[in-house]
A = this chain, B = another copy of it.
């Protein structure tokens, strides 16, 4: 796992992934007490960065392997990324999703042409269901984060940030990244280590799921044990990955954690000041950038808004937040 893989992924994604803009607002700068740059990855195809990793992974498969189809486990954004990438390559995709995933994410995954298999989170074994289907049909599993070509794809977000931040004069900043299993964070960290050594990638999580923060502090993987529920469905993973954690441990600054309420407040400000739609899990880095000034260094902060797939009811709940 190295920067050459990230650059190779960028070459494969050229003409497929959208180069998302780096946005800003003087009103956000004022709240944060420093300059704020926002990488609006919610504007990516399928509404999240996950399309990059999925396309990267599928495009790296041998043609004959890819032709048999792919399978993925996901409550939402990875599902849509894999579904769209599979459709673009003309191969079949099976997505195993929890039955309580947001309705919009299930519907979209189906609309991209994937076969959705729902399971009951409380009573069924996701991995067993997936293994049975995959073996029977010769499908290749596309993991959501702990897979080098997926990390390489997510790392292209970091290459773009490095270039676009430098273009507006920013070469030193904390770079805050919404973190579930760490695919996006570790990919961005690899890109920054190569192209923008003054940008320090730092994972941001929900308070109830701060496994990456605790793992980085401990220097070893720590799991969330009996975590409280969080509105940030996209990033409530149990622990950093076996591949992503060593990269984060080597390259990232310390982690941060935000409350669900602050994630909702950040969604409201993204609506009002940037005119973008952020989902709760996609807004945690912006929340930390705006509301945790003492935890940050320097006169500029960069926050990734990693996704924007959110049901209207949750979005309006965010807009009603003070």
Q: Which chain B positions have C-beta within 8 A of A47?
A: 275
Given contacts A40-B43, A47-B275, 8 further A-B pairs with CB under 8 A are A20-B21, A43-B274, A104-B272, A271-B277, A275-B276, A312-B319, A312-B320, A316-B316
Q: Which residues of B contact A43 (CB under 8 A)?
A: 21, 23, 40, 274-276
Q: Could you tell me the distance between the alpha carbons of A278 and B275 in the complex, rounded to whole angstroms?
A: 8
Q: Mark A258-302, 1 if CB is under 8 A from B, else 0.
A: 000000000010011011111000000000000000000000000
Output the least CB separation between A46 and chain B (Å): 9
CA distance A112 to B27 in the complex (A): 9
**Which residues of chain B are within 8 angstroms of A278 by Cβ–Cβ distance?**
275
Interface pairs (23), CB distance under 8 Å:
A18-B21, A20-B21, A21-B21, A23-B43, A27-B108, A27-B111, A40-B43, A42-B275, A43-B275, A43-B276, A47-B275, A104-B272, A268-B312, A271-B277, A271-B312, A272-B312, A275-B277, A275-B308, A312-B316, A312-B319, A315-B316, A315-B319, A316-B316
**In angstroms, how far is the closest chain B Cβ from the Cβ of A253?**
28
Interface centre among A42, A111, A312 (most CB of B within 10 A): A312
Closest 7 CB pairs of A and B: A275-B308, A312-B319, A275-B277, A316-B316, A42-B275, A47-B275, A271-B277
A268 to B320, CA, bound (A): 17
Chain B residue, CB-CB nearest to A268: B312
CA–CA, A42 and B111, complex, Å: 27
| Contact count band on A | 20 to 34
Q: How far is the CA of A319 from the CA of B316 in the complex (A)?
A: 8
**CB of A261, distance to nearest CB on chain B (Å):** 17
Task: Report chain B residues within 8 Å CB of A104.
Answer: 272
Q: Please, which residues of chain B bring their CB within 8 A of the CB of A272? A: 104, 312
Chain B's closest residue to A18 (CB) is B21
Within 181-211 of A, Cβ neighbours of B (below 8 Å) are at none
Contact indicator B27/A271 (Cβ below 8 Å): no
A108 to B25, CA, bound (A): 11
- Asked whether A271 lies within 8 Å of B315 as measured between CB atoms, the reply is yes
CB-based nearest B residue for A113: B26
Contacts of A19 in B (CB 8 A): 21
Q: Which residues of B contact A315 (CB under 8 A)?
A: 271, 316, 319
Q: Which residues of B contact A108 (CB under 8 A)?
A: 27
Smallest CB-CB separation from A320: which chain B residue? Answer: B312
Residues of B within 8 A of A40 (CB): 43
Closest beta carbon of chain B to A68's beta carbon, Å = 24
Residues of B within 8 A of A23 (CB): 18, 43
Complex: A268 Cα to B274 Cα, angstroms? 17
Please, which residue of chain B has its CB at the minimum distance from the CB of A274?
Answer: B43
CB distance from A33 to the nearest CB of B (A): 16
